[in-house]
Amino acid sequence: MKRILICGSNGLLGQRLAMMLGHETEYEVLNTSYHRSFVLDNHFFDYTQLDVTNKSDVKSLITSFRPDIIINGAAMTNVDACETQRELAWKVNVMGVENLVEVSRRIDCTLFHLSTDYVFDGKNGPYKESDRVNPINYYGKTKLAGENAILAGGISSTIIRTIVVYGTGINVKNNFALWVVNRLRAGEAIRCVEDQIANPTHVSDLSAGILKAIERERTGLYHICGADAVSRYEFAMKVAEVFGLDASLIEGVKSDTFRQTAPRPMMTGFITSKAQSELDFHPMTATEGLETLKRELLHLTLN
């Protein structure tokens, strides 16, 4: 039986991985996250607190659990907060990764790490894995430095870059799709940018891609995202359509309407042919992903 340690299990991706891998009998999974308690039912899932920035805790937990695989979904993901709280962003997104690299080398396990389209400048997406990186905000710089720490560490690793992840979970940070649903349901007008293009990714597609890479024992770099490249405005219009909400509340605007703390890459998106051929990765369209989200939200309400 393979042992898997998940870091960041309280996050959007971490929760989904915990549920997905927790139901697979061939894996023994230990969930970990920064906060002391797990948002999911602790009677079913094994959980312990782990701050990835605490080098000695990382070392002692991992050398005692001895995972075959570590999946690192822990990160400081608030892009604007990373711009202003640089020391903390570097500590979590780079030094935390360095700690995992060091112990992975020691116990000879494979490190699965999540990265982002924000390693690119967004001038000429969609991007393939071999395209030149050039982050334009501090979050992107920390995530790229995390990737480089893994590559320099000479360990067995799989780096998965993804884009605008959406879905639901317990106490998850607001994501774009949920934000649009909640604002439109409240009858509030929203403004969404028409000039930032990317492929929103349903968290279940991302988790399924990671599981495929684990099952096939694939290492290296993979781009994984939803099937459709859309602007935030187009995506919000699809939300309105799928959820039967008032599309007239959505106004399309240019990015320079907003004064965001961190600059955003304008046109990212990924070419996913490597993941399609090597991982048999076939993601949902934006409409299919939103229909899935709608069912998931209904299920949460009914429970």
Ligand X SMILES: NC(=O)c1ccc[n+]([C@@H]2O[C@H](COP(=O)([O-])OP(=O)(O)OC[C@H]3O[C@@H](n4cnc5c(N)ncnc54)[C@H](OP(=O)(O)O)[C@@H]3O)[C@@H](O)[C@H]2O)c1
Closer to ligand X at the Cβ: 172 or 279?
Answer: 172
Closer to ligand X at the Cβ: 78 or 156?
Answer: 78
Closer to ligand X at the Cβ: 14 or 67?
Answer: 14
Structure tokens at 244: 């039967």
Q: Which residue in 211, 221, 71 sits closest to 159, CA to CA?
A: 221
Structure tokens at 179: 């934000």
Q: Site residues (CB under 6 A) for ligand X?
A: 7-8, 10-14, 33-35, 50-53, 73-77, 92, 96, 114, 116, 143, 162-165, 172-173
The minimum distance between CB 23 and ligand X, in angstroms, equals 19
Q: Which residue in 29, 26, 28 sits closest to 18, CA to CA?
A: 29
Structure tokens at 183: 């604002």
The minimum distance between CB 264 and ligand X, in angstroms, equals 12
The helix (run of H) or strand (run of E) holding residue 190 is strand 190-193
- Helical H runs in 43-169? 55-65, 79-84, 86-90, 96-107, 138-152
CA–CA separation, 111 and 221 (whole Å): 12
The minimum distance between CB 63 and ligand X, in angstroms, equals 18
Closer to ligand X at the Cβ: 131 or 249?
Answer: 131
Nearest residue to the partner ligand X, using Cβ: 11
Structure tokens at 62: 């991992």
Closer to ligand X at the Cβ: 159 or 245?
Answer: 159
The minimum distance between CB 187 and ligand X, in angstroms, equals 26
The minimum distance between CB 248 and ligand X, in angstroms, equals 27
